[in-house]
Structure 1
């Protein structure tokens, strides 16, 4: 499963493999019509100045979201010269156009599965447990042996995603609530979004699937069936998000006292310079600064942050390759990136980055997964299309049995890979990351005094050493395993 989200300047991707196509939308001004307002992300040098709203107004903008904890604001402006006007403000460190982060994926179309969805899994009414179909959770729990030691009671994982089905029978017992960060109207294209902060109901499915891998306790079992989960919805239905919305969710999750944050989100950001049309360039990028500041805010509050590595099959150790990729993908928007780039949030300090392993090999990770020996902490099962597809890349030979089974909103149509309702088969680093987040949560339940660094070290030191001996470019330290983390000293 893959949902692509495009971050302020760059792509931030809900890292699940649905479709490799990109759909980046920019508002255009029609001839003889009023200018269309655009969204911008602004990072001040330190704290927000007392007169920040006036500063933005004088430059021709209006603040629509303030993040005082990290010295940043989201701004709306219809002035073409807005970014240029800001250059005269000495305490603005960086500013950039905020582009729509489009959810981009194959819809629930049976033809997308080559008319071969999985039909040999029983419907939930006909089965007591899907445990025998959960090869991924079996892998990381040693066939459930970890449950006999610790199921995660007392620890909480925040899921920053598309929301969670609050009435799913496998999730509602562990769901502690949540919050919505999507403003009224979304990006102006979703009239069903009212801006209700309590509306964290999943309109897409991705977040519910992720949550099930962490803490489902029913027909599906998560890594920690007794873990608490909190939902932080940052995506509308079939529409986009903004980096400022995600950062706001990170800050709130940290303030709520979660022990772990899972972000099945991955994308790319330039480390230093970029230019946009005729607005000149900044030596820093607001998008990058906001990511860094939000994550450090969480880490300082003792939160372990886990993120997906992304699904572009890129070597994350090669920053210029990432920059070339960004220029190929987004150059048509008038953006040009120079120098080194990284995957965000995964390669930022304080984040544990997860690649995707599969069911059938301990030598090869999933075909879509990003990799890199200095970039990947550990791998976890995210599934793929099976060994035949891996060898041929022939889409007609995909076998969806090799994907990962988890919860799906009870009110949505079945996802195209199977005829199941309330459960779905998906793959991607989005499905790998929550296994590690669940492991981190169970470790925190067993060791409440552990810092994020200690949690990360425990996971890395007890991972199964797949691939080349020692730390390698595919698996990092290996495939994460909660039973080992609870039993190995």
Structure 2
């Protein structure tokens, strides 16, 4: 039997995208989703009456941070901001996975049970490195961040410390990750998925099975324990599924997942995603009518996002987030605004003023840049003084670009050169059944698999795992102290001291635990 290895050559980072009401999946002009942020961080008692009076309908609520999602006519946002109780209201953004170019490779399939293995022990256990054949052969990234496994001799984690992974779910059948999967994972994807066309999505809160792969890949980087190994092979984790097979999610789902993870008592939230927060004028043009609306100085989704991150901090949770994959100096506000306008122009948005990547501007967040096999900043990684906190291995594609420019991609693949610069981790192998119109009718789980990804998405979970190990070592430390521990136990790369590429330095589990 053969197992399909997928080499994902595009950067695997959940880049903020935006789907306007005029997207291919959109409905009518009267079916616009808005994010509404109230002035106070609670929902007023008369919120329903207020929204109905403005011609809208509440479809989702996040009471802990004073945020709701509303379905209403396109002029709703402009009218809503006139009310003193409402801070900002604008069309809801959609966070998207980028399109991934995949090159399949065949290799011998490793026999697995194909069943979820439950192991909720909280005690330290030995790691069988000799049996982790894929770790030994391919996981140069994990070896780099553990000093060739030396950190495993000090600490591998336990189930008393928990990482909340906000992503595309988890492969419930993958033996490399289910050993550390704890009860309490949740699904936020509603029936029909993002656009209502995915019939495999029923809205079951307990349906956390990964259809996409990204979430299981992230989990393997954190807590893999089988053919692959993660940085913390015995740490507990919960999966908060916000991405479906189609790869998109309303930002409100992500904010709710952050709130729930914090309320569930996780210690670290790992988020391989991020966005752009605009301070200045925000304009939106209705693609159906051509009418332009002035939505004030903020994008509602990012105000809500920052509130959610601050709420998590207040509950004692450290949030670790990706720096992003646009190769931008994220502290150059003009450059970020230009990038935002280029990215969002087709969807009706135009920004004037300063823009920031979030959640880097939120206190007690750890923002992670990515490095490649030679410790250089990855070609795609965002950077910036005061923006990046630390760096971790995310892989790179320097060799791939060289071979691509020389028209030698086949040689690159044949010689498995990707194994020296991409990151291998766990994924589910699934196939989809489609309707005649190309929408998903159902999916079939085939078997647990592995894939190579690159991106700050891969660096972030590794740093999250080190933060969790430090939490195991030092016990009841608050997010500020835990962030300080992560920063102060790094390797110094680049310029001496803090610099714009690596922040406070490169995170190494062995050095941190010493």
Change (3 A) 1:136 1:41: same
Instruction: Report 1:314-463 matches (<5 A).
Output: 314-359=328-373, 361-362=374-375, 364-387=376-399, 389=401, 396-397=408-409, 399-401=417-419, 402-411=421-430, 422-463=449-490
Shift of 1:273: 2.7
Kept after mapping to 1: 8 A contact 2:17/2:94: no
Change (3 A) 1:410 1:35: closer
What 5-or-longer segments of structure 1 have no aligned partner? Answer: 1-15, 111-116, 414-419
Structure 1 length-normalised TM: 0.87
Q: Distance in 2 between matches of 1:337 and 1:370?
A: 20
Change (3 A) 1:396 1:267: farther
Q: Which moved more, 1:158-167 or 1:235-244?
A: 235-244
Task: Say which of 147, 160, 164 aligns to 1:142.
Answer: 147
Instruction: Report 1:242-321 matches (<5 A).
Output: 242-277=250-285, 278-321=292-335
Q: Distance in 2 between matches of 1:103 and 1:395?
A: 28
Q: Distance in 2 between matches of 1:261 and 1:71?
A: 21
- Local SS of the residue matching 1:430: helix
- Local SS of the residue matching 1:306: strand
Kept after mapping to 2: 8 A contact 1:165/1:410: no
Q: Which moved more, 1:198-207 or 1:123-132?
A: 123-132
Match of 1:124 in 2: 110
Kept after mapping to 1: 8 A contact 2:39/2:87: yes
Task: Say which of 162, 186, 191 aligns to 2:193.
Answer: 186
What are the Cα deviations for residues 303-338 of structure 1, in whole angstroms up to 9, with x where unaligned? 110001110000011011000111122123321111
What are the Cα deviations for residues 437-472 of structure 1, in whole angstroms up to 9, with x where unaligned? 000011111112111111111111111111121111
Shift of 1:129: 2.1
More strand by share: 2
- Local SS of the residue matching 1:73: strand
Change (3 A) 1:65 1:393: farther
Q: Distance in 2 between matches of 1:17 and 1:465?
A: 26
1:199 aligns with 2:226: no
Shift of 1:148: 1.3
Kept after mapping to 1: 8 A contact 2:391/2:505: yes
What is the root-mean-square deviation in Å for CA atoms of aligned residues?
2.5
1:222 aligns with 2:230: yes
- Local SS of the residue matching 1:53: helix
Match of 1:6 in 2: none
- Local SS of the residue matching 1:173: helix
Q: Distance in 1 between matches of 2:511 and 2:153?
A: 13
Structure 2 length-normalised TM: 0.83
Q: Distance in 2 between matches of 1:422 and 1:452?
A: 35
- Local SS of the residue matching 1:485: helix
Change (3 A) 1:298 1:217: same
Match of 1:13 in 2: none
Task: Say which of 487, 497, 500 aligns to 1:470.
Answer: 497
Change (3 A) 1:140 1:50: same
Kept after mapping to 2: 8 A contact 1:358/1:383: yes
- Local SS of the residue matching 1:423: strand
What are the Cα deviations for residues 426-446 of structure 1, in whole angstroms up to 9, with x where unaligned? 110000000000000111111
Q: Which moved more, 1:404-413 or 1:300-309?
A: 404-413
Q: Distance in 2 between matches of 1:293 and 1:272?
A: 19
Change (3 A) 1:372 1:28: closer
Task: Say which of 476, 479, 483 aligns to 2:506.
Answer: 479
Match of 2:289 in 1: none
Kept after mapping to 2: 8 A contact 1:41/1:75: yes
